[in-house]
Amino acid sequence: MARELVAMALRFLHEYVRASDLAVAAAVLFVCSAVRSRLSSRPGEPMLWPVVGIIPTLSAHIALGDVYDWGAATLSRCRGTFPYRGTWGGGSSGVITSVPANVEHVLKANFDNYPKGPYYRERFAELLGGGIFNADGDSWRAQRKAASAEMHSARFLQFSSATIQRLVRGRLVPLLETLSEQERHAVDLQDVLLRFAFDNICAAAFGVEAGCLADGLPDVPFARAFERATELSLTRFYTPPLVWKPKRLLGVGTERALVDATRAVREFADRTVADRRAELRKVGDLAGRCDLLSRLMSSSPPPHPPADAAAGYSDEFLRDFCISFILAGRDTSSVALTWFFWLLASRPDVEARVLDDIARAGGDVGAMDYLHAALTESMRLYPPVPVDFKEALEDDVLPDGTPVRARQRVIYFTYAMGRDKATWGPDCLEFRPERWLNDKSGAFAGGAESPYKYVVFNAGPRLCVGKRFAYTQMKTVAAAVLARFRVEVVPGQEVKPKLNTTLYVKNGLMVRFVAREQRHELRHPVPAAAHLAGED
């Protein structure tokens, strides 16, 4: 009976309904649905189109190159929160917010209801595995505890500080001196800083020399594979699952390239872990090494997965942990420094105060309060991670009254939060480091600000464990460069953010380095660990 009814319906459609009729009906249905969506939305909210959701609006602003500023302006019109929906069948929906109270609710008050979630983990599974940057629940807590214990130890702080100084003095400064001698030679500052950060983070995480800043700025296979794997993983966030998942299944296109790139990264990491294991068995201890891998391998972990009290951390755990550490630290500090130097080039008054701060501190980066404030202010305007999100496990209501359904995402827009007049005042778009200083003493007073309105380093239980490391690296590099060189931005460039999970300058930043006549030398290269420990 059912088959006969279906057959009759098909015959009716074939005989009496033309393709043009279906097209008109679909068009009318689309328009009616669009009108209904527009009438049901609040003033200022972006249009959620039938079937394709917010994608046409996003695509238009991506093409215009102003998607971050559009998002900030839209949130301002919508009182800080609006709903979004992706393409039908893509499984992406939720809310976008810049309200500090909402962010605090997600990152702290109702933390357990908002993990990274399977949506995020699946897209980074090949590269990060179960590493801290991709973990939730007990696995994340175990890795967080291990990371905090090792990275906040005086020994690691001294080691990482000495490593930064060695790279700055032995690699970065000589390179810039060579460039400064070539009077008209311009270089991409972002590329140079990314190379420096990769060398530094590999030394801190694995205790190996990556060699990205070696003479001639050579191509480094591991660095190239890591960058490629990161970029290809990110494409999954804006490619519909109906596209990238079949490609992964068939092993073609970008998914095949991702497999090849992540294989190269993991082979390097596996080889490094195996070599360190062999060294440990041969020598008996790794007391002479202070890198993160060696310290974890030598430590006594708690007796639960992913560790065993007798056997220690597994090789897989160590590999994934260190790869996550490199991902978290490679791009963020270098990109932050690129924007900082760009902003500084347009503000000679701020640069003069930074130079005075460097000279007064005598090389102790922990005492450079104005430089600390200038870097913090730069990251307020250009946060290294402009957007982040969490996924709800259960239905919830945000403090501003916005409902969130289970499996929906709450996207907190860090870029917009730093440009909110309600939070930062009418001069929110101005680069003004003084807003972070104590009016009377001139000391850095940023710790008094709520971390939920300045989430550059995340906040709550997932507050970045590398925050101290990042500030030390950025301040050391900035002080060394500015003490010796004037950084001149080549005129005529279009400087704007690139759409990515990290806020790269889209086309890089071409600069020239001009040697200063009077140098502000850094007389005490390694800050005391106690001083470093008090930075955040």
The string of DSSP codes covering 154-200 is HHHHHHHHHHHHHHIIIIIHHHHHHHHHSTT--EEHHHHHHHHHHHH
> 80 pLDDT band (50/70/90 cuts)?
very high
pLDDT in tens, 7-52: 676 666 566 555 555 455 545 554 554 455 444 556 667 777 677 7
pLDDT in tens, 98-121: 999 999 999 999 999 999 988 888
Per-residue pLDDT for 195 more than 70? Answer: yes
> 395 pLDDT band (50/70/90 cuts)?
very high
Domain 35-515 in CATH: superfamily?
Cytochrome P450 (1.10.630.10)
Per-residue pLDDT for 531 more than 50? Answer: no
pLDDT at site 39:
47
Q: How far apart are CA 435 and CA 456, in angstroms?
A: 16
pLDDT in tens, 150-161: 888 888 888 888
Strand partners, 387: 413
pLDDT at site 530:
32
514-525 burial, b for 16+ CB within 10 Å, e for fewer?
eeeeeebebeeb
Q: Has this prediction a pTM greater than 0.75?
A: yes
Average pLDDT of the residues of the chain:
84
pLDDT in tens, 405-431: 999 999 999 999 999 999 999 999 999
Q: Using an 8 Å Cβ cutoff, are 49 and 58 in contact?
A: no
Arithmetic mean of pLDDT, 293-297: 86
Closest to 103 in 3D by CA, of 509, 513, 483, 387: 387
Share of the chain above pLDDT 90, in %: 45
Q: How far apart are CA 262 and CA 502, in angstroms?
A: 19
pLDDT at site 341:
98
Strand partners, 488: 512
pLDDT at site 527:
38
pLDDT at site 536:
35
Q: How far apart are CA 443 and CA 259, in angstroms?
A: 49
Helix (H, G, I), strand (E, B) or coil at 322: helix
Token pair listed for 258: 């991702």
pLDDT at site 89:
64
pLDDT at site 392:
96
Q: Using an 8 Å Cβ cutoff, are 404 and 106 in contact?
A: no
Helix (H, G, I), strand (E, B) or coil at 306: coil
Per-residue pLDDT for 485 more than 50? Answer: yes
Whether 78 has a binding-site annotation, put simply, is no
65-76 burial, b for 16+ CB within 10 Å, e for fewer?
eebbbbbbebbb
Domain coordinates of the chain in residue numbers? 35-515
Phi then psi for residue 83, to 5 deg, are -80, 155
Q: Using an 8 Å Cβ cutoff, are 188 and 147 in contact?
A: no
Share of the chain above pLDDT 70, in %: 85
Please give the C-alpha separations between residue 185 and each of 32, 143, 484, in angstroms, as whole numbers. Answer: 59, 45, 17
pLDDT at site 237:
81
Q: Using an 8 Å Cβ cutoff, are 166 and 475 in contact?
A: no
**Side chain identity, residue 468:** R
311-327 burial, b for 16+ CB within 10 Å, e for fewer?
ebbeebbbbbbbbbbbb
Token pair listed for 372: 């600390």
Element (H, E) at 535: none
Per-residue pLDDT for 534 more than 60? Answer: no
**How far is C-alpha 455 from the geometric centre of its chain's CA atoms?**
11
Element (H, E) at 155: helix 154-167
> 374 pLDDT band (50/70/90 cuts)?
very high
